[in-house]
Amino acid sequence: MAHPTPKLNLEERINQLYPIIDTFKETHEVRIMVYNLSAYDGLYCATCSPRKTPGDCGPTCPLLRPEPEPYHSNHRHGDWQGDMVSDYQLYRQIVADMAAHAAGASENRVIGW
């Protein structure tokens, strides 16, 4: 005999989405790092490159290498990059919609998230 799955109320369902959203954010940050490593032949540092301060993160900063090392990757492929961009746009849309409407979200809106 199968046990019925308890039906969660909307607030519980919304609360279950936050860890999923956080996981996507971490995954997206990794995808950006891999893309940048590929685009800059390994001469990219998540800490120093955005600030344009080579070596700020310490003596092992990849930006302190004398020459680039080929970083072979297929992550420059248009489909992969397009998916990364569209996934991030969807992520931002969901996060903004949750911030604006989570308190009074309808069941249909939560299903959409």
Per-domain boundaries in the chain: 11-112
pTM: 0.63
Q: According to the model, what pLDDT value does residue 7 have?
A: 56
Q: According to the model, what pLDDT value does residue 65 have?
A: 81
Q: According to the model, what pLDDT value does residue 76 have?
A: 60
Count Cβ neighbours within 10 Å for each residue of 38-77 and write b for 16 or more, e otherwise.
beebbbbbeebbeeeeeeebeeebbbeeeeeeebeeebee
CB 85 within 8 A of CB 95: no
Mean pLDDT of the chain, nearest integer: 82
Band of the pLDDT at 107, cuts 50, 70, 90?
Answer: confident
pLDDT of 75 over the 60 cut: no
Q: According to the model, what pLDDT value does residue 45 have?
A: 92
- pLDDT mean over 75-83: 72
Using DSSP's 3-state secondary structure scheme, residue 73 falls into coil
Q: According to the model, what pLDDT value does residue 57 have?
A: 94
Q: According to the model, what pLDDT value does residue 77 have?
A: 64
Instruction: Report which of residues 41 and 5 the model is more confident about.
Output: 41
